[in-house]
Amino acid sequence: MKNKFYQYIQDLQNTITSSLEAIDGKAKFQEDIWKRPEGGGGRTRVIENGNVFEKGGVNISGVHGKLPDSMQKYFGVEDADFFACGLSLVLHPKNPMVPTVHANWRYFEMYDKVGNIVDQWFGGGQDLTPYYLFEEDAKHFHKTCKTACDQHNPEFYPKYKARCDEYFYNAHRNEGRGIGGLFFDYCKATDIMNMQDWYNFVTEVGNSFLEAYVPIVEKRKDLPYTEANRNWQEIRRGRYVEFNLVHDKGTLFGLKTNGRIESILMSLPPHVQWVYNHQPEAGSEEEKLIKVLQNPVNWV
């Protein structure tokens, strides 16, 4: 399973980066192959200063070795080894009318002292963070997510949509990071779903990513915007940074397993603002977004 999924994310990385380069029309992904001293490595691809994408990364990794003490305590195990692989992407467009997007699809195995698998699971999802809310875009993104889920279980979309709203939430701000999508974790074998079934589901979601995001980019990338729109985008990016550094489990896992700092922090945007006590103008498009972030919407 680990070999099959790692091959899948390698192929998906190629598909996604080729598509994004074609949309941008200027910038190309810069590739960085790296190795982790304790075992494994990855392939980081970063795009910067393009026509469409100000900064973005589409990274894959496959790492293994002894599970660090802090993570052994977290999982309640002793003397465990692990293997983890996944694809993680974040794209920060230049135009404030185009939303930031994040996605991640991952697989994890844990082993006992003699190398037997004692636990294994899939996780992942995809979510949208707009700066200006176009309801048709939100509906398109969520409808694509729902279609992928419905191929496998009609209960998946409402369940994983709710988890996404709950997870990508800046509790210290009382607002969501964005308008959600899907978030699933610890997807293990059960009487209903074996690991092959979970593989089929996770890859279905991964394959739906470009269909969910690219039409939105194409529709919004050439819209006019003002300096005020750009300032708002940078203020909202600050909230994105706050979530990733304060709450995100993936960031924490990467740092605690001696992950590659450049790859872990590639999700941070290049231009950000923190304005003291900033409040959007009453009745503005900016305030409209905030109200939705404070009260998640059922888009489908």
Measured distance CA(73)–CA(71) in Å, rounded: 5
Which residues are marked as active site? 102
Measured distance CA(64)–CA(85) in Å, rounded: 9
Query: 264: domain range?
Result: 2-294
Q: Coil, strand or helix: which one is 215?
A: helix
Q: Please give the tally of structural domains in the chain.
A: 1
Whether 299 is covered by a domain: the verdict is no
The two structure tokens encoding residue 124:
């992942």
Measured distance CA(107)–CA(115) in Å, rounded: 17
Whether 300 is covered by a domain: the verdict is no
List Cβ neighbours of 240 (8 Å cut-off, separation of 6 or more): 100, 129, 177, 269
Whether 152 is covered by a domain: the verdict is yes
Q: Coil, strand or helix: which one is 290?
A: helix
pTM, 2 dp? 0.95
Q: 109 and 122 in contact (C-beta within 8 Å)?
A: no
The two structure tokens encoding residue 137:
């875009």
Measured distance CA(105)–CA(218) in Å, rounded: 24
* Backbone angles phi and psi of 107, in degrees to 5: -140, 140
Q: 182 and 123 in contact (C-beta within 8 Å)?
A: no
H helix or E strand, kind and range, residue 184 = strand 180-187
Q: Quick one: pLDDT at residue 199?
A: 98
Sign of the four-CA dihedral 245, 233, 13, 167: positive
Query: DSSP assignment, residue 265?
Result: G
Whether 237 is covered by a domain: the verdict is yes
Measured distance CA(181)–CA(129) in Å, rounded: 10
Instruction: For the chain, 300 residues long, give each residue's pLDDT as a single digit of tens.
Output: 999 999 999 999 999 999 999 999 999 999 999 998 989 999 999 999 999 999 999 999 999 998 877 777 877 777 789 999 999 999 999 999 999 999 999 999 999 888 899 999 999 999 999 999 999 999 999 999 999 999 999 999 999 999 999 999 999 999 999 999 999 999 999 999 999 999 999 999 999 999 999 999 999 999 999 999 999 999 999 999 999 999 988 888 778 777 788 888 888 899 999 999 999 999 999 999 999 999 999 999
What's the full length of the chain, in residues?
300
Q: What CA dihedral angle connects 205, 193, 197 and 167, to 10 degrees?
A: 20
Measured distance CA(204)–CA(122) in Å, rounded: 13
Whether 20 is covered by a domain: the verdict is yes
Q: Quick one: pLDDT at residue 64?
A: 93
Q: Coil, strand or helix: which one is 68?
A: coil
List Cβ neighbours of 100 (8 Å cut-off, separation of 6 or more): 90, 91, 92, 93, 128, 129, 130, 131, 178, 237, 240, 269
Q: Quick one: pLDDT at residue 263?
A: 82
List the CATH number of the domain containing 31: 3.40.1500.10
The two structure tokens encoding residue 104:
């991640």
